[in-house]
Structures are given as C-alpha cells and as structure tokens.
Structure 1
Amino acid sequence: MKIIRAVKSLIVDGQGRYLLQLRDNVPTITFPAYWSLFGGALEGLETPINGIKRELYEELGYRPSLIEEFLSYKYSIKKVNIIDREVTIFSSFIDSYEIEELELMEGQSLAFFTILELQKENNVVPLDLSTVLMHGLSETAPSLFNINYS
C-alpha cells in the first residue's frame, strides 16, 4: 500500500490568530466546506519543506520568510479506508503587510481565528483543530510537554 504524504502549515499572525482555509464544497474531496490548515499532498520525491513552500505559494501567493517544522504524525482510519497517511506540520509567523498581499487561489474563503473562536466552529477538520491546540499549548504552556522518564 502506498503511503500518502502531506504537509500543512500553521500560519500565525501578531495577535496569535491562526489562518485557515474554508475548503471547497466539492463532494470528491475530504472534509468539503470545512475549515482547514493550508497545505496538501507532496509530489513525487518532494521533501516536506519544499512541498509546504510550493503549497503556500500555489494556494495563497505566500512565501514565508521563516518556516519551521512543528509536528509530524502518521495515521490510518481503516473504517473509512484512509490507510497510511503521513503528515508534516510547519509553522510560520505572518506580518500584517504580508496579510494584505495574500491572494486566495484555492478554497472558498480564508480567515484568522483565535483558538477559542476555532473551538466554537462546528466545521473544522478535527486533526487540524487538535494541531492548533497543540501549537497553542506549546507556545503558552511548554512545561505541559515535559516528560520525565526516570
């Protein structure tokens, strides 16, 4: 079985809000009309960092000055025939002047959300919501991630 590799990006503004995309309402895509992090599938032997740079440019015309890997995970949901997905999440900070230059080229809409606002939405891709929550906690309460194996 072929592993499907994907990338997504947490794009955070100066107010700590996260930029999400309202996915197209097309029945042939996963989570149509749901809020999602920007990103997509890797092409061929593309590296995750090159893939996220390509996706952000294709979807937003955005070239972040600094982008860092935040999280990676693998998952399968056999009940719905999702097998062997591998996702790498990146994070970047976006300045106000860069926000003004964004051009949505994929999806219905884009919007910035605080974590609390996002939790109130009933149409957020669940793994993306949990990723935003993990990122928020890593910024505000990093001690929660300390593990003592002794």
Structure 2
Amino acid sequence: MIVGDPPRDEQPSGMLPPDHPFLVSTARLRPQPAAVAILQLDDGRYLLQHRDAIPQIFFPDHWGLFGGAMEEGETEIDGLLRELHEELALVIPASLPRYFSRIDFDFTYCGLGKISRAFYEVTLPTKQLSELRLGEGRAIGAFSAQALLAMPRITPYDAFALWQHINRSRIG
C-alpha cells in the first residue's frame, strides 16, 4: 500500500491544512546567526514558545525554543539574554546559560554562507514560571520530555537539539 496525501477532510491529527502559512508562504526569509535557550524547569519540564502563525518567520505556528537572531556586534550570550528578556521578561545573569551544542546551516547556495544556531542550557526554578510574561509568540508551554518528543509541530532544528539534550546520557 502506498500512502499519499489524504483527502482534505481526512487530515490525520497533527497534519497542517493545505492553506497553512508554513506551506503556502512566499515571504522572503533571511537566516541569521542565532542563540537559543533550552529552558528546563527544575521539575524536568522544558519551556517552549508557540510561534506566531505569520508567514514572515521560519516555521510559523510551530513550537520552538526561546531566543533568536543576534544583532550586529552581539555575542551569543548577549543576544540570548536580550532575546529572553524580550520574549519572556526573563532577566538572568550572563553566567547562568551553559553552552550545549550548535547546528551549522550551509546557505552558500543563496550567497549567505554558513550560519550557526547555538543552543544554551538554562535551568529555572518551577516557581519562576508564574513570573514569565510572553512578549513574542502565541503561548508558553511547559512539557515533559516524553510529551515534547511526541509533538507534531516543533521546529526541526530545535527538535533535534532537544532530543540530544533529553538523550545526552545515552550519547557517546
């Protein structure tokens, strides 16, 4: 049996409708170096951002890590701290984020060269969750590792970094 596109009225759970911004957008996208946080609560859950459903961003209406593009002249840590403040009203010391991993993307085909996404671990006390204020995106979610890995719409690069983080004791 060959599985193909299901009829529109029979979309399996988690599948995007054919008119979803992720599938139909023609907006120009400009990849930039980024620093993001693998935010883990002290109870083990991970914090994710439900991204806006607008066509001008990478992976609209997906869940992803907090953080983002660095501004000209910023270090990864400076950019990460700025983004966490903008997106969550979270202020943490520069010594708190711990480097975890990096994914390099090769955009040479369109003249942009190689661009990195750096991942930093940040552990927060669960009680701090009530102090966070969403400044960008549609929602904040706190997910167990098992629930997170089963989610159908997570930005793929963040999903891989989260999988690595969850399984770090098994790797190597």
Structure 2 length-normalised TM: 0.74
SS of the residue corresponding to residue 4 of structure 1 reads coil
Greater strand share, structure number:
1
Shift of 1:16: 1.1
Written as runs of structure 1 = structure 2, the 5 A alignment for 1:17-96 is 17-65=45-93, 66-76=96-106, 84-96=114-126
Letter in 2 for 1:108: R
Residues 43 and 92 from structure 1, CA distance in 2 versus in 1: closer, same or farther, beyond 3 angstroms? same
| Preserved contact between residue 107 and residue 115 of structure 2 (Cα < 8 Å) | no
| Preserved contact between residue 64 and residue 94 of structure 1 (Cα < 8 Å) | no
Unaligned residue ranges in structure 1 (runs of 5+): 146-150
Structure 1 length-normalised TM: 0.85
Cα distance in 2 for residues equivalent to 1:54 and 1:69: 16
Aligned to 2:127: 97
Cα distance in 2 for residues equivalent to 1:53 and 1:91: 12
Shift of 1:84: 2.5
Q: Which of structures 1 and 2 has the bigger CA Rg?
A: 2
Cα distance in 1 for residues equivalent to 2:57 and 2:138: 13
Residues 82 and 44 from structure 1, CA distance in 2 versus in 1: closer, same or farther, beyond 3 angstroms? closer
CA RMSD across the alignment: 2.3
Letter in 2 for 1:118: L
Residues 14 and 80 from structure 1, CA distance in 2 versus in 1: closer, same or farther, beyond 3 angstroms? farther
Letter in 2 for 1:26: I
Cα distance in 1 for residues equivalent to 2:148 and 2:113: 27
Aligned to 2:8: none
Higher RCO (C-alpha under 8 Å, 6+ residues apart): 1
Cα distance in 1 for residues equivalent to 2:56 and 2:164: 29
Shift of 1:97: 2.6
Letter in 2 for 1:40: G
CA distances 1:97-120 after superposition (whole Å, capped 9, x unpaired)? 311100001000010111211122
Say how many residue pairs are matched: 141
